[in-house]
Amino acid sequence: MYLGIDLGTTNSVVSRSFVDRNNNLVTEVVNIGQLDQDNWEKHPSLPSMVYFSDEGRIVGREAKRQRYQDREHVVTNAKRFMGTKHRWTIDGESFDAKEIGAIVLQHCKKAIDREGNMKYDTVVITVPASFNPDQISDTIQAAKIAGFEDVIIKHEPTAALLSFIDEEALKQPKDRIVDFSTSKRILVFDLGGGTCDTSVIDVKVDDAGIIFTERGVGRYQELGGIDFDAKLATGLMNNFFQQAGIMEGDLTDYQKDEMYRKLLLGAETIKEKISSRIANADSSVDVETISAKHIIPDFYDHKPLKLVLTKKDYDEYTKDLYTDKNIRFKRFEDLEKNKNIITVIRKTLEDYDIPPSSIDYIFMTGGMSKFLTVRQKVEAYLNKPIIMPQNPMDAVARGASIYQHYKVTDMTDRNGSKGTAKKFDTGTGEISHRDGITDHMMLAEAILLDVNEGLPKIIIPRKTFVPYEGEIIGEFRTSSPSGIKLNIYAAEDEFDSSMRLQKSLEKAFRFPVRSGTPFDIKYKINENKEISMKIVIDDGIHSDEMDLSVYSDFRIEERDLKVVTEDDI
């Protein structure tokens, strides 16, 4: 069995693929058991939220319900903090993002293991294409803390696109949307609950297999459904204050925070209702007039607040998230303050010199891609046809499990055995999964090295395909007889004002070394974007070669996470 997990910002999904008795590849979403108001129920998605209760760590729908009732004990959106030092302290215990991710993944693992018939050796976990090595490191460590031993990392856009290709393979040739027998350039726009991932991928399916080549990767963008909710909640709150005559200082910070959190929940509910009603509306209905109602009890002064918004109203409140000011922001922080979905696309195309005219299709996935206005704005900007998976919510997880099937059968063939024989008729002939898959993954940011707090030097340029290896011979010199300190950064280049420290490493020499002794650095980055280094030093008396893994400093803590399962109910 081949296992894939989409560890999402707001929701996580597990998928498995296996070959049935007829040699057909079957892919299905695994329903995950979770607590919801004292009932244990199975659902196809798991909210990536953790509620720290007296009984233990509760993951999923109950945590989502508690985020506004007992918010001091609920952690949400941990994925946004992968690769950072951010921590949450709850009841005196401190957790970082990878530990929160581990709790979510451990819940997924327990659900998988309870099935009994799901035997697996490896798990494929997806990340945004723009995740840097430090963010990927945290994701891998989270998986290992959760109990997964062998972890493969794949980019979310590629996984979602692979799921779509597999869907197309199940159709009759006349019913297929895209003919992949000739190379197609796809702009993948993955707008989820908390992240906006944009990639440009060239795809070709022929007798040699499936070939994915990333041509452009947008820098990591913290933009998603939660930002739409926040924009609407802020607008509604400002309107209420104006209509109610509430002035600055009339309310405490706690009161304002409580009101805002209730509006956030209301904004999310309204968004979902409008989207659902548009999807089910008759073609004769003016979608701009479709409305949704929501009542917030005990909103202010013990009185309820009734909200009624049309799609047109919603779009007006959130219009800034669709408006590209066509400004070339010098700092990443400025881009964050003015973030919107169109700027993400424009900047990706500009950064990689990709003409919009070269795009053949826009592939949209992620939960927010179901919202009509998002699709309308993106299609209008690029004037290209939109293609979508059958279910944008689970496409990434499905693609992750399918990817592992391709790689496993491909490796089996290389060892001299036959793989499975699922066929994909391209119109020019059939290919099988055993023909393999080639995935050229690209670095969205450069990797820079700073030795002894000098000037950072690019060692792996952005746009580099992984795996990659290189060396720096005799360029650096020691400044201490006892050891060396290295800092690793990620940025567009050495002049990027938003350069971020990835890892700080110190290594002691095995013998005293004269200051100023030259040394060599050899480095590699593998398919999972994990970096390893070696320092080679020779002072004429002694010589030494020291391994310096960027991830060797991480300890997988044997920590009882106390994830609540069905047995505890």
Query: Do 23 and 17 contact (CB within 8 A), yes or no?
Result: no
Residue 553: pLDDT above 70?
A: no
Query: Taking Cα atoms as reference points, which of 459, 476, 466 lies closest to residue 523?
Result: 459
Confidence (pLDDT) at 75: 95
DSSP string computed for 196-237: EEEEEEEEEEETTEEEEEEEEEPPPB--SHHHHHHHHHHHHH
pLDDT at 454: 67
Residue 535: is its pLDDT beyond 90? no
Q: CATH for 225-320, among 3.90.640.10, 3.60.20.10, 3.40.50.720, 3.40.50.300? A: 3.90.640.10
pLDDT at 349: 94
d(CA 17, CA 332): 39
* DSSP state at residue 33: E
Q: What is the CATH number of domain 2-174+389-425?
A: 3.30.420.40
Mean per-residue pLDDT of the chain: 85
Least confident of 62-71, 220-229, 429-438, 539-548: 429-438
CATH homologous superfamily, domain 445-549: Substrate Binding Domain Of DNAk; Chain A, domain 1 (2.60.34.10)
The pLDDT assigned to 508 comes to: 81
Structure confidence by residue, pLDDT tens digits, 516-529: 888 888 989 888 88
Indicate if the pLDDT at residue 235 is higher than 90.
yes
Q: Does pLDDT of 426 surpass 50? A: no
3-state helix, strand, coil in the chain (%, to 5): 30, 35, 35
CA distance 83 to 133: 8
Predicted pLDDT at 120: 85
Assess contact for 394 and 6: CB atoms under 8 A. yes
- How far is C-alpha 215 from the geometric centre of its chain's CA atoms? 19
108, 32 Cβ separation under 8 angstroms? yes
The per-residue pLDDT for 299 is 92
| Residues 106, 102: Cα–Cα separation, whole Å | 6
Residue 1 predicted with pLDDT over 70: yes
Residue 411 reports pLDDT greater than 70: no
Amino acid at position 500, single letter: R
Phi (first) and psi of residue 249, to 5 degrees: 100, -10
Q: Are strands 39-43 and 500-508 parallel, antiparallel or unpaired?
A: unpaired
Domain borders along the chain are 2-174+389-425, 225-320, 445-549
Task: Determine the Cα–Cα distance for residues 334 and 345; give it in Å rounded to an integer.
Answer: 16
Report residue 109's pLDDT band, with 50, 70 and 90 as the boundaries. Answer: very high
Residue 397 to residue 374: CA distance in whole angstroms: 22
Q: Decide if pLDDT at 563 tops 50.
A: yes
Please, which pLDDT band fits residue 502 given cuts at 50, 70 and 90? confident
Q: What is the pLDDT of residues 117-165, one digit of tens each?
A: 778 889 999 999 888 888 898 999 999 999 998 999 999 999 999 999 9
